[in-house]
Amino acid sequence: MQIIFSTNMGFCHGVKKAVAKALESGSGSYTLGSLIHNQQMVDKLREKGITKVDSLYGVASGSKVIFRSHGESPTNYAIAQNRNLEVIDVTCDFVKKAQDSGKLLAKEGFEVIIIGDDKHPEVTAIKAWVGNGTKVVRTVQEVEELPSGKKYGVIAQTTCTDDLFATLSKKIEEKAEQVKIINTICSATKQRQQAAIELAKKADTVIVVGSQGSANTTHLAEIAAQYCPKVIFIETKDELDQEMLKGTKVLGITSGASTPDWLVQEIVDKIQGMDMFFNQDGSRKLFLGDIVEGVVVSIRDNIAFVDINHKSEGMLSLQDLSLLPLDDITSLISVDDKINAVIVGIDKDGNAKLSKVKYDALVADEKLKKAQENNEKIEAIVTGVVKGGVSCQVFGINAFIPASHLDLNKVEDLSVFVGKKFLVQIIELDVESQRKKIVLSRREVLKQEKQEHEQSLYAKLKIGEKYSGIVSRLTSFGAFVDLGGVDGLLHVADMAWQKVKNPEDILKLGDKVEVLVQKVDALNKKISLNLRDLQQDPWLVNAEKYQVGQIVQGKVSKIMKFGAFVALDNLVEGLVHVSEISDEHTQNIESVLEIGQEVKVMILAIDKKTKKVSLSIAQAKKEEEKQEFSEFLGDKDEFSNSIGSKFDLTKLFGK
């Protein structure tokens, strides 16, 4: 008899968390109700001083109480608070989701229907959270009894089967005027049920280990019975005897989410110790599918004879050793080599036919399952082009990569990948079915690498620092610059000091540019760049030519109520305030100045920060007159000496 196990069995993560938290809470703490549906586990907790109570009133104030994964009613939370109890809440996330979904539906005005078992504590707690009027159905008949034409919101007990949920939801939909369905079945339950189906299809007897009181274990037994002629539902090894397994060739074993592994192990140990596993001489019987370990003792006619600790040696042919097209078995194996293999045949004399190819496939299956579970990257080698993608090998077995998953961008010629090795991620895996399905993606790996690269780049970018990049795209509002894996936007306004109408006037696609990083928003993946600030401000360069007190020629560029703007050159412009146009009060500026008129102005102030320049026509005029008078005096020395000593010229012309 061959024993096979479900690929998904034993404690689910919700139960694991509950048990771990209970053990952590230590002796002296309580569980409200049985922590899980398994008496053996409850007994073990009691031995450790963690006691089950049925009411919070039996617990001394200040004690620790564990609220189990099934969830508790709002009333119990309130009682715990009033009684000053320390609540260790291990309500499973999936159960919380069911409670929240029910509350949401009720808030939206739906009459809530739970598909599940009315008496189950999880359902009782959900009902308490959702409120009065919540209905529970488990059969088509119960749905038929519901009033028609209502607004129904449907959720499921987390351990409900997919089939039941689909059937009853559809029936409710037919009855309701409006319906909203939220599937709250937990994913652990779905995976476990799917694995039980696969197991039941392969076995002629299935043992389901767990409590009859556990909803998820009961469902496993029901599901297995749909695919396998014989299902044995037991809680402990004591309920099993050899007679029950009579005639079984392939025995499948699975267990519920609240069944501890050690209970399953006890059952397996008991089965393996049964007489049916031994020959009359006390040697162990061989069964098809058994995995054996042995040592090659001789090689004849391309067959290796392997000592598998049995009365006769196992035989391993070249085809069962490797899939490689070889002629000579000794090119791969020698006497004394250790080998693992699967028994694929037993002749009438009890001699075993071994297969290492099958063993390698089993190992590969396990590695693939583990890689999928841990989201690991694995190495694949492309072996050829096939319809819709490429074929490849992973862990020595064949797999498929769809064309759309070969690269980040569309691949035109798939043949360029043949012979290439790269990392991939599993996107679909079914190694249990006869036709294995292993679908891989290189794109997922590249996407992840790109994201990691982007994240590290975002972390490295510093505002105000200079980076070089390549112009990757030009738009009407700016240019995108590739900074080595991430694109930043150089807005048209940040390209140059002068007004830029079209980014293409400044940059071309593929140009290498140095840019300043001015803003980084890693969350929204936005980088803002600046090219302008890396160049000297031409206004400042021009303004360098001017000093306060200097008299320069300018041209009136604009006339306002408060004064006139005068352009000193094509960049620098200053304001002549109305009070600085003339010593006399200027009533109407346009009567003394006109646009385009050349004027002499004195620079009164230059503010480089605001780029504002104050000018004065009056002061320039006064200074000019002063100059002229000085020059005149300089020509007439004597006059200058005699008059100059008597008058203070500054009083005449001002400073």
Active-site residues, by number, are 122
How far is the CA of 517 from the CAs of 455, 493, 499, in angstroms?
16, 14, 20
Stretch that binds ligand F3S, among 91-99, 363-371, 496-504, 641-649 (CB under 6 A): 91-99
In the list 45, 59, 186, 399, the residue contacting ligand F3S (rule: CB under 6 A) is 186
Point out the residue whose Cβ comes nearest to ligand F3S. 14
* Pair 507, 513: CB distance under 8 Å: yes
Q: Compare residues 257 and 603 and give the one whose CB is closer to ligand F3S.
A: 257
Stretch that binds ligand F3S, among 11-19, 426-434, 439-447, 480-488 (CB under 6 A): 11-19
| Smallest separation, CB 368 to ligand F3S (Å) | 24
Q: Binders of ligand F3S among 199-218, rule CB under 6 A?
A: 216
Residues with Cβ within 8 Å of 212's Cβ and at least 6 positions away in sequence, in order, are: 218, 233, 235
Q: Which of 49, 39, 42, 53 is nearest to 18 (CA)?
A: 42
* Cα–Cα distance, 331 to 321 (Å, whole number): 11
Stretch that binds ligand F3S, among 13-21, 410-418, 449-457, 619-627 (CB under 6 A): 13-21
Q: Compare residues 12 and 286 and give the one whose CB is closer to ligand F3S.
A: 12
Q: Compare residues 160 and 361 and give the one whose CB is closer to ligand F3S.
A: 160
In the list 1, 3, 9, 12, the residue contacting ligand F3S (rule: CB under 6 A) is 12
Query: 39-47 and 13-25 are packed helices; what angle lies between their axes, rounded to 10 degrees?
Result: 20
| Smallest separation, CB 120 to ligand F3S (Å) | 12
Task: Decide: is 189 part of the binding site for ligand F3S (CB under 6 A).
Answer: yes
| Smallest separation, CB 68 to ligand F3S (Å) | 9
Find residue 452's DSSP bridge partners: none
Q: Compare residues 220 and 399 and give the one whose CB is closer to ligand F3S.
A: 220
Task: Decide: is 94 part of the binding site for ligand F3S (CB under 6 A).
Answer: yes
Q: Binders of ligand F3S among 526-585, rule CB under 6 A?
A: none
Q: Binders of ligand F3S among 154-183, rule CB under 6 A?
A: 158-159
Q: Which of 545, 544, 546 is nearest to 615 (CA)?
A: 546
| Smallest separation, CB 29 to ligand F3S (Å) | 19
Q: Compare residues 92 and 486 and give the one whose CB is closer to ligand F3S.
A: 92
| Smallest separation, CB 228 to ligand F3S (Å) | 22
The sheet that has 30-32: what strands, in order across it?
51-53, 30-32, 64-67, 86-89
Task: Decide: is 22 part of the binding site for ligand F3S (CB under 6 A).
Answer: no
Length of the chain measured in residues: 655
Task: Decide: is 15 part of the binding site for ligand F3S (CB under 6 A).
Answer: yes
Interface characters, 243-262, with ligand F3S (x: CB under 6 A):
--------------x-----
Residue listed under structure tokens 């002068």: 498
Task: Decide: is 188 part of the binding site for ligand F3S (CB under 6 A).
Answer: yes
Q: Compare residues 14 and 574 and give the one whose CB is closer to ligand F3S.
A: 14
Q: Compare residues 101 and 216 and give the one whose CB is closer to ligand F3S.
A: 216
Task: Decide: is 121 part of the binding site for ligand F3S (CB under 6 A).
Answer: no
Q: Compare residues 41 and 399 and give the one whose CB is closer to ligand F3S.
A: 41
Q: Binders of ligand F3S among 275-334, rule CB under 6 A?
A: none
Q: Which of 306, 254, 248 is nearest to 277 (CA)?
A: 248
| Smallest separation, CB 287 to ligand F3S (Å) | 33
Structure tokens at 335: 């006497």
Find residue 565's DSSP bridge partners: 558, 575
DSSP 440-483: EEHHHHHHHHHHHHHHHHHHH--TT-EEEEEEEEEETTEEEEE-
In the list 6, 69, 101, 169, the residue contacting ligand F3S (rule: CB under 6 A) is 69
* Cα–Cα distance, 351 to 312 (Å, whole number): 6
Residue listed under structure tokens 């009333």: 75
3-state secondary structure 306-338: EECCCCCCEEEEHHHHCCCCCCCHHHCCCCCCE
In the list 32, 45, 95, 576, the residue contacting ligand F3S (rule: CB under 6 A) is 95
Task: Decide: is 359 part of the binding site for ligand F3S (CB under 6 A).
Answer: no
Find residue 353's DSSP bridge partners: 315, 345
Task: Decide: is 35 part of the binding site for ligand F3S (CB under 6 A).
Answer: no
* Pair 313, 296: CB distance under 8 Å: no
Burial 624-648, CB ≥16 within 10 A → b, else e: eebeeeeeeeeeeeeeeeeeeeeee
Stretch that binds ligand F3S, among 92-100, 304-312, 363-371, 386-394 (CB under 6 A): 92-100
DSSP code of residue 509: T
| Smallest separation, CB 430 to ligand F3S (Å) | 22
Q: Compare residues 70 and 310 and give the one whose CB is closer to ligand F3S.
A: 70
| Smallest separation, CB 41 to ligand F3S (Å) | 13
In the list 2, 4, 13, 104, the residue contacting ligand F3S (rule: CB under 6 A) is 13
Find residue 615's DSSP bridge partners: 576, 603
Task: Decide: is 83 part of the binding site for ligand F3S (CB under 6 A).
Answer: no
In the list 59, 92, 380, 390, the residue contacting ligand F3S (rule: CB under 6 A) is 92
Q: Compare residues 18 and 200 and give the one whose CB is closer to ligand F3S.
A: 18
| Smallest separation, CB 431 to ligand F3S (Å) | 24
Q: Compare residues 155 and 576 and give the one whose CB is closer to ligand F3S.
A: 155
> What is the size of the binding site for ligand F3S (CB under 6 A)?
15
602-610: Cβ within 8 A, 24+ apart: 602/549, 602/550, 602/551, 603/546, 603/547, 603/548, 603/549, 603/550, 603/551, 603/552, 603/574, 604/548, 604/580, 605/548, 606/543, 606/546, 606/547, 606/548, 608/540, 608/543
| Smallest separation, CB 76 to ligand F3S (Å) | 18
* 342: enclosing H helix or E strand: strand 338-346
* Pair 491, 475: CB distance under 8 Å: no
Which burial class, exposed, middle or buried, applies to 423 when counting CB atoms under 10 A from its CB (0-12, 13-18, 19+)?
Answer: middle
* Pair 220, 208: CB distance under 8 Å: yes
Stretch that binds ligand F3S, among 7-15, 273-281, 349-357, 561-569 (CB under 6 A): 7-15
* 558: enclosing H helix or E strand: strand 551-559
| Smallest separation, CB 13 to ligand F3S (Å) | 6
Residues with Cβ within 8 Å of 59's Cβ and at least 6 positions away in sequence, in order, are: 30, 53, 65, 83, 85
Residues that bind ligand F3S (CB under 6 A): 12-15, 69, 92, 94-95, 158-159, 186, 188-189, 216, 257
